[in-house]
Amino acid sequence: MPRSFYMGEKPLECVSSSKNDFRSFPDSVRPEMGKALGLAQFGGKHPSAKPWTGQGPGVFELVEDHDGDTYRAVYTVRFQDVVYVLHAFQKKSPSRIRTAQLDIDMIERRLRLAQQDYQARMAYESAETMNEADETITRGTGNVFADLGYPDVGEPQTKLRLAYAINGVIA
């Protein structure tokens, strides 16, 4: 059952397989990315979040390395009331520099799906009829750490909210 959100907190929604893909990342990769997504829920930007080129403003990528592999999560804060995780993947580009075209196309397609979902939310329509192919939106519970498969979900969420509240007092 979804819970109520803390003042200023936005729900985190995952497009298509991005939630399960993120959960498949190594345990050493997920914590910092989870914190960055949690910060995005409050309208903040983690220092490791970099603009994703090619899709315009409000789309960011998180990059973490582990054992010689690179893991990425791409999300958007383009919409006023929700954060969408568009794609989570292990980079396997043959050029070792550029992101594979398949991943770029998937992010573009999922951004369109997020746009459709957001418009449906604003129009109070059902988003189920607007999904492309087999892509869907997975609604978040309101706890980014629970949604992304962390074993201990209460403490990190409480710390995130506390840090956000302290920052609001001293800013």
Residue (of 116, 109, 131, 138) closest to 22 by Cα position: 138
Residue (of 18, 152, 7, 135) closest to 86 by Cα position: 18
Residue-wise DSSP of 73-133: EEEE--STT-EEEEEEEE---TTSSSPPHHHHHHHHHHHHHHHHHHHHHHHT--GGGG--T
CA distances for 141 relative to 4, 38, 155, angstroms: 9, 12, 16
pLDDT, tens digit, for every residue of 143-153? 788 887 877 87
What backbone phi and psi angles, to 5 degrees, belong to 74?
Answer: -115, 130
pLDDT, tens digit, for every residue of 9-54? 889 999 999 999 999 999 999 999 999 999 999 999 999 999 998 8
The domain locations on the chain are 12-163
pLDDT recorded at residue 104: 93
pLDDT recorded at residue 153: 79
